[in-house]
Amino acid sequence: MASSQAAPRSSGGQTLLPSPAPITTTRRPPPLVALICLGCQFLYLASYSVVIPQSKDLIDQLYQDHDATNTTSSSTNTFNNSTNTEGMDLGRNALSGVLIGCQHIAFGAAVGLCRYKFNGMYRDVITVSLLTSVLGAGLFVVGTLWRSSFRTSLFLLVSARLIQGLGAGVDYTAKHALTVLTSADVRPEYYSYWSIACSVGTGCGPLLVFISYILLGVVGHSGDASSVMRLQCALPTALLGVIIAGLFFVHIWVFPTEVEQDAKATKEANKKEVIPMPRQDRLAKVFVSLFLGFVRHLVRTAWEAVATLAFQGLYSMNMQSVAFCTSLFYFTAYPAQILFNKTRKWKTEEGWMHAMCAVAACGTVLMWCGLGFVAALSKNVGFILFTIGSLMLYDGLAIHATVSDSVGVRFADTSDWLLNAENVVFAQIVSKGMIGRSLGPIVGRISVSPIAFLGEWSGFAVLCLALLGISEWLTIKVLPDGSSSAKSSGAAREVQVELQDRSQDRRRSSQDRLQEIKRRSQLHCRAVHMLNPDNWEEFMASEDCERFSQMKHGDPDVLRQMAEALAQLITRDTQIGAEFRQSPERFRIIAPASRRVPTVGVYLCRELVEALARIVGSHEYVKLYQMKRRGITHGDFATMDFQQRKDTLKGQFYLDETDVSGMKCIFVDDAIMFGTHYVETYNVLKDMGASAVFGFFVLEASMALMTENDKIEHLLNTRFNVTLPGFQRLINKAEFGISVRMLKLILKQPEELLQGLQEWIHVVRPDVASLMHFAAKEENLAGREHLEHLSTSLFHRRISACVVDASAGESVPRVALVSHCQSISGKAEETDPYEYTRKKFVNEELIDPPLSQQGESAAGSLGRALQAGDLNLGTTSLVVISPLRRCLQTAQLALEGIQLPAGCRVVVHPLAAEQLFEPDIMENCVAPGHEFKPLAVGGVDVDFEACHEWAAAAAKSCTEMRAPGATVKCVSQDCLLERATSFRDFLQQAPAHSMVLVFTHPSLVKVLAGQVSGPGSFMCSSNWRDWHVAGASS
């Protein structure tokens, strides 16, 4: 293999799908969005923690200034004069805790607004919240520096903290954005980043305090001790305000404006599988996960409040040392989270929660020893024990937070009004951020005061151990069978039984297959979603699996969504994404091999090209090449094992295009299992001189999963809803495309279902019925005789039932019914009937198409045939033309050089237009705002007066068909008959025995004459009963 292909494997992809996103795909938020969201979390925690080291000193300073003003007490700072804890009275400790935690009261209110009033307005909420945070920081600085009464100063400080809490409400918006824009498989990774931002932000607050003391020491300061203390307390928050302002300007400059729309567009796609369980159990599990979050943050914030007091009061540290040590503790969460990310698959989520709870409990015991009897014997040894215990407690709970938050969201039910993911995230934020962080500092500061028999420092340890014990008990009693060991639905259980029943003999005989999978692993493979043994059962039980199966059978809505996801994956790929965006002409998109009837992979590639063209801004350089195969596979390829696949594909593939030499080729398909298609395609392209080959897929089965079960693809396909309503829902979609897989599936159905489907197609989609018959015959599929009556003439046979009553006397005008010549849409249908049928309702290029080059040439021949016949054009009294361009052009070119007699009228009439469906295909519609330009035919000005209302209706039909999820229905036989009868009556108003020329469509000719006419042919009658072909141009 070329070295350039030995790229690291990845299942990650990025998409704003919006999408949604269709199946449970690996979706990641845009990097800038993720960084700003994490930055909001970072600054929220920094604004919280910046007051932790100095809150006690600030409260003491307020009391001292108050006492000095009232000359009733000494102004000595307790911690500057004594290393004991006699000065740590309950009231001042509680008040300092309030100053730390009151921010989270307003935080809770702001989170509620973000959840229920401004949910999804990411850019606006972040903008307002950052401005509010800057205002709160400024007010805190004012309250710290302004010497006023005790109550006024305290009021300003608490108000500033509340305003900062309002700004911190962005925490919900930021986490909601990460949750919505990430898929379940990578959400723990981003929650880990979230925890890192939390820890680093919390550590940044004390670090700013440390930096402020250093700056003040370098710059120098003058004034009394009170002024110096106030300045020391104000400067960290001032620096934080500057950082917040910086993030605000970065956010305004770079935050994408389309994130809200992308999040809405992919919301449906991001709905993950719901773990099946009774609602009562789900409710209990969600509330337990919320309680775990509350306990984690109560204990962590209580530790923060206790640790700063211990550093000052017990270990005699100055403020700089306290701030520096505290920040170091917070920063240790970063390597802990990174290590967890690399090892998180070693244990189940439940196992990690048990382990981290045990680590935190051990850390609490070590802290207790370090604060208690060991400190009495040796403060140095006590400090070491306290430090080790703090690291175990803080980092253990940080990892526990990452796991339990992810588990809590996984318990959500997207269809439940209360237990949906948005409400679960909101409740997590409130329980942790508002309640836990509000109570933690107060409880922590109170717990170190002498309380009854517990002693001065023992209260905190006893409280922590009690809460951790309750958490562990609830985890054991309530959470099992929910996260890592989630019960799957019946379908997943059947799959599990099938996997377990695989024999050991088959495993031992799979060496060749493993070698091929190994070979595949050396190729460049990127997939939107990776299937592995860990997520296979859950995926099979999910709605996403059914949607993937629908895509495999041609569902156009899912196809389009998957194409968007692949386009994002390609353009953001670390290896080729930037180059493709800048120089798409260096690449070739390679569609998977097909013979005549396209596969779903081919349709996927065509949608992908459209998506890529939108990204790079041009269709010119995004080139799609179709890999061809020499023969069709008989039987279901998905059911074949490795060796059968390999033998079937050997020497089958080839490519007509030759300009791939030196190009980078991107092979795209819906899924990769064994990789036999990819390997064969790779070999063909490398033999043709491609410089590199890259593979991108919607779904990839890992080597481990394929080793266990080689029928993965077949099991995925069986999730399609094989019922009459299931087929009807799919085929009735405007952009439904016939594929080999769908044909084979239809031909396998019982006679009763097949008959019901054929009767329904006959009424609703006769165009699809005739193409199905043609495709089955073209591919020589087994069982095609069941579709024999769905012949290519079915549509015309159906119209035959609508032939108007031909009874008429001798006093009628003679008539010539002329079918228009070949149009652009007719040429498209002739070139690729499958793509034409799939896009004829939505392709804007087919709106009211002109004649093709061949059609223009044929129109000239038609004019000569009209003159050479026995029509006697000199008696023409009326020329009627369909308002559609292909008929107008046919009439103009056919009668060019012919002078119609005086008194002859040339009328464009809406009843001469073709109407096949409701709403109709693009070629029978006109663009919004369509206007008829003056035109002369046969030397006579054309009268468009009767067609203005028709044009408005045709333009509306065009708009309706391009709406997402549009469905179609064939015009009823009664409607066809009614329109044709009215048109006949109009034509017969012309003078008797005069000639009437009608330039119209083959379908209307069939209704009027009862016979089939090809493009550019015409049929004549003198009595409206006996018709004969008088000439044909093509």
**Residue 997, SS3?**
strand
Closest-CA residue to 114 (of 161, 159, 165)? 165
- Distance, CA of 1017 to CA of 1034 (rounded, Å): 7
Residue 964: predicted pLDDT: 65
- Give the max Cα distance, the chain: 128
State the chain's mean pLDDT as an integer: 78
Mean pLDDT score, 119-124: 77
Specify the pLDDT at position 263.
54
To 5 degrees, how large is the angle CA 441–CA 443–CA 447? Answer: 115
- Measured CA to CA in angstroms, residue 454 lies from 444, 742, 974 at distances of 14, 74, 92
Q: Tens of pLDDT along 443-482?
A: 877 777 655 455 566 777 888 888 888 888 888 877 654 3
Q: Is the pLDDT of residue 252 over 50?
A: yes
Q: What pLDDT is stored for residue 999 in this prediction?
A: 96
> What is the per-residue DSSP string for 321-352?
HHHHHHHHHHHTHHHHHHHHHHHGGGS-HHHH
Average pLDDT of the segment spanning 631-644: 57
pLDDT at residue 570, as a whole number:
92
Q: What single letter denotes the amino acid at residue 163?
A: I
Task: Return the SS3 of 57.
Answer: helix
Which amino acid type is present at position 617?
G
Q: Using 50, 70 and 90 to split pLDDT, how confident is the model at 2?
A: very low
CA atoms within 13 A of residue 1019's CA, in its CB half-sphere? 23
User: So what's the pLDDT on residue 16?
Assistant: 27
HSE-up of residue 669 (Cα within 13 Å, Cβ side): 23
Q: How far, in Å, CA of 714 to CA of 674, rounded?
A: 13
Residue 398, pLDDT > 90, answer no
Strand ranges, E, within 373-503: none
* Least confident stretch, 294-303, 839-848, 929-938: 294-303
User: pLDDT tens for residues 732-785?
Assistant: 888 888 888 888 888 888 888 888 888 888 788 888 888 888 888 877 777 667
Q: What are phi and psi of 235, to 5 degrees?
A: -60, -40
This prediction's pTM: 0.52
Q: What is the DSSP code (8-state) at residue 901?
A: P
Range of 6-10, 146-150, 400-404, 463-467 with top mean pLDDT: 463-467
Higher pLDDT, 67 or 1: 67
Structure tokens at 353: 């929660």
The pLDDT confidence band at residue 805, using thresholds 50, 70 and 90, is: low
| Residue 822 banded pLDDT, cuts 50, 70, 90 | very high
Determine the pLDDT at residue 667: 95
**How far is residue 987's CA from residue 983's CA, in Å, rounded to a whole number?**
6
Tens-place pLDDT, residues 142-196 = 988 888 888 888 888 888 888 888 887 777 678 777 777 776 667 777 877 887 8
- What is the average per-residue pLDDT within 27-40? 82
Order of strands across the sheet with 524-531? Answer: 524-531, 692-701, 664-672, 587-594, 624-629, 653-655
pLDDT at 797: 44
Output the pLDDT for position 118: 76
Query: Mean of the pLDDT values across residues 1014-1026?
Result: 88
Q: Vertex 737, ends 735 and 741: CA angle to 5°?
A: 145
* % the chain with pLDDT above 70: 80
pLDDT of residue 262: 52
Which range among 189-193, 851-855, 999-1003 shows the weakest confidence by mean pLDDT? 189-193
pLDDT at 261: 53
Checking if the pLDDT of 499 tops 60, the result is: no
Supply 15's token pair: 């998409």
Based on the number of CB atoms within 10 Å of its own CB, is 675 exposed (0-12), middle (13-18) or buried (19 or more)?
A: buried
Residues in the chain: 1034
Closest among 729, 730, 699 to 712, alpha carbons compared: 699
Residue-level pLDDT at 8: 33
Residue 72: predicted pLDDT: 43
Tell me what pLDDT residue 90 has.
64
Residue-wise pLDDT for 553-602, tens only, equals 888 888 998 999 999 999 988 888 889 988 999 999 999 988 788 889 99
Overall average pLDDT of the 55-76 stretch:
66
Is the pLDDT reported for residue 80 higher than 60? Answer: no
Q: What SS3 class is residue 925?
A: coil
Flag whether pLDDT at 392 surpasses 60: yes
CB 414 within 8 A of CB 421: yes
Give the span between the Cα atoms of 131 and 252, in whole angstroms.
11
The end-to-end CA distance of the chain, in Å, is: 53
Structure token pair of residue 317: 């540290």
**How high is the pLDDT of residue 638?**
52
Between strands 936-937 and 940-943, the pairing is antiparallel
Backbone φ, ψ for residue 526 (5° rounding): -130, 135
Predicted confidence at residue 268, as pLDDT, reads: 47
- Indicate the pLDDT class of residue 854, thresholds 50, 70 and 90: very high
Q: Give the span between the Cα atoms of 66 and 518, in whole angstroms.
A: 77
Which tokens is 252 given? 């305004």
Give the whole-angstrom CA distance, residue 395 versus residue 330: 8
Segment 710-718 shows an average pLDDT of: 78
Q: Evaluate if residue 200 carries a pLDDT over 80.
A: yes
Q: Are 210 and 323 in contact (CB under 8 A)?
A: yes
C-alpha span between 295 and 287 (Å, rounded): 12
Residue 1034, token pair as written in the block: 């093509």
In this prediction, residue 12 carries a pLDDT of 36
Mean pLDDT of 519-538: 79
Count Cβ atoms within 10 A of the Cβ of residue 725 and give its class: 0-12 exposed, 13-18 middle, 19 or more buried.
exposed
